[in-house]
């Protein structure tokens, strides 16, 4: 085996994963900045540019950067899939002991890399998330972001993170190999890591730079989708392996409440009958139909729990557990 191939097989200190969409102007400057930081700190590294179906010259620029520097690698999607698939593909390709993610728009500073690397390798964190304490974004973006992060902290239980969606993050290699980022779940990577058993999650205040080229690719709809994704992640994390605990409990409560209500309507009619008071048919009362509907919905939820248990029982991952080590 040649010296070149030996060097290629060695695990680099750092893998930098850069998902991008239409960022042709910023890529050369970003690549040069990363290379300078790595050289100044003596890191061995690789940069993985994941082109998410760009319609500009981004892939041509990436190809030239890879020819110029053997530490650069490129992955090109045939069409635009989104940031989460781009990150997941980059994670699969990453070989570094520490994996750094950053956006390609130059709003994330590569100068943060050495300290992020130190926090993973020396302080023992599994994941370190950047916190853009001072942002160069309009209020229409910063205020919803604060509300979103407050909700994410409450639901996930990760109280020490102020910015879940910061693109600048550092991971132990084992973390990115044990999580799956899909849909738009890149916003909740710290929560995904926690669900996978990686609980040593830290935060570092990082510099947020004003956008130099182009414009943002995200609209306000991401906040609506973000809350839906958070609800999905919370539910699957808590009840994914035991759906009956959710649907069965909720269905049972609704059925009992409906049954008691229907019984109360019937008992009230009997009381009026035997006391000689004026009474009407049970079916004339709207409360009877509300009670009946509640019982039906309760039965449906209970059956949904049974179906969920059957699906979970037949899942190939029903007894899949993350084992850190064996002796």
pLDDT given at position 3: 46
**Nearest Cα to 256, choosing from 299, 289, 288?**
299
State the pLDDT confidence band at 109, using cuts at 50, 70 and 90: very high
pLDDT given at position 219: 56
* Radius of gyration of the chain, Cα coordinates, nearest whole angstrom: 27
Mean pLDDT of 33-60: 96
CB distance 147 to 220 below 8 Å: no
State the pLDDT confidence band at 10, using cuts at 50, 70 and 90: confident
CB distance 135 to 210 below 8 Å: no
Report the SS3 class of residue 278. Answer: coil
Between CA 133 and CA 110 the distance in angstroms is 17
H or E element, residue 180? none
Mean pLDDT of 185-208: 90
Give 259's contacts (C-beta < 8 A, 6+ positions apart).
Answer: 291, 295
Domain boundaries of the chain, sorted by first residue = 3-239, 244-313
Q: pTM here? A: 0.75
Cβ burial 76-87 (10 Å sphere, 16+ → b, else e) = ebeebebbbbbb
pLDDT given at position 174: 95
State the pLDDT confidence band at 277, using cuts at 50, 70 and 90: confident
**Whether pLDDT at 27 is above 90:** yes
Here the tokens at position 48 are 């993985």
Who wins on pLDDT, 135 or 44? 44
pLDDT given at position 133: 78
The phi and psi torsions of 19 (rounded to 5 degrees) equal: -80, 145
**Whether pLDDT at 172 is above 50:** yes
**Whether pLDDT at 1 is above 50:** no
**Whether pLDDT at 138 is above 90:** no
Who wins on pLDDT, 311 or 160? 160
Mean of the per-residue pLDDT values for the chain? 85
User: Domain spanning 3-239 has what CATH number?
Assistant: 3.90.550.10
Give 283's contacts (C-beta < 8 A, 6+ positions apart).
Answer: none
Give 75's contacts (C-beta < 8 A, 6+ positions apart).
Answer: 48, 49, 50, 51, 89, 90, 93
pLDDT given at position 216: 62
Handedness of CA 67, 70, 72, 74 (dihedral sign): positive
């Amino acid at each position: 085996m040649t010296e070149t191939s030996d060097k290629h097989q060695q695990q680099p200190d750092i893998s930098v994963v850069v998902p991008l969409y239409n960022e042709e102007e910023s890529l050369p400057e970003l690549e040069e900045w990363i290379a300078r930081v790595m050289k100044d700190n003596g890191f061995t590294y690789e940069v993985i540019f994941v082109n998410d179906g760009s319609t500009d010259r981004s892939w041509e620029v990436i190809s030239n950067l890879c020819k110029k520097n053997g530490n650069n690698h490129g992955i090109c999607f045939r069409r635009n899939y989104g940031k989460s698939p781009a990150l997941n593909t980059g994670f699969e390709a990453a070989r570094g002991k520490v994996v750094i993610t950053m956006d390609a728009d130059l709003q994330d500073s590569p100068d943060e890399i050495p300290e992020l690397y130190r926090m993973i390798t020396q302080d023992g964190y599994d994941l370190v998330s950047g916190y853009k304490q001072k942002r160069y974004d309009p209020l229409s973006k910063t205020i919803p972001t604060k509300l979103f992060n407050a909700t994410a902290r409450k639901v996930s239980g990760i109280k020490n993170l102020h910015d879940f969606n910061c693109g600048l993050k550092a991971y132990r290699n084992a973390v990115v190999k044990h999580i799956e980022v899909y849909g738009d779940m890149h916003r909740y990577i710290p929560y995904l890591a926690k669900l996978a058993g990686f609980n040593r999650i830290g935060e570092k205040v990082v510099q947020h730079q004003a956008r130099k080229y182009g414009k943002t690719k995200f609209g306000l709809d991401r906040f609506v989708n973000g809350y839906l994704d958070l609800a999905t992640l919370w539910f699957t994390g808590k009840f994914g392996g035991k759906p009956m605990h959710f649907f069965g409990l909720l269905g049972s409560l609704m059925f009992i409440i409906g049954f008691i209500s229907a019984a109360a309507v019937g008992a009230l009619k009997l009381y009026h009958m035997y006391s000689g008071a004026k009474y009407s048919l049970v079916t004339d009362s709207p409360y009877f139909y509300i009670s009946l509907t509640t019982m039906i919905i309760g039965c449906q939820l209970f059956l949904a729990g049974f179906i969920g248990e059957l699906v979970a029982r037949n899942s190939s991952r029903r007894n899949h557990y993350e084992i850190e080590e064996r002796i």
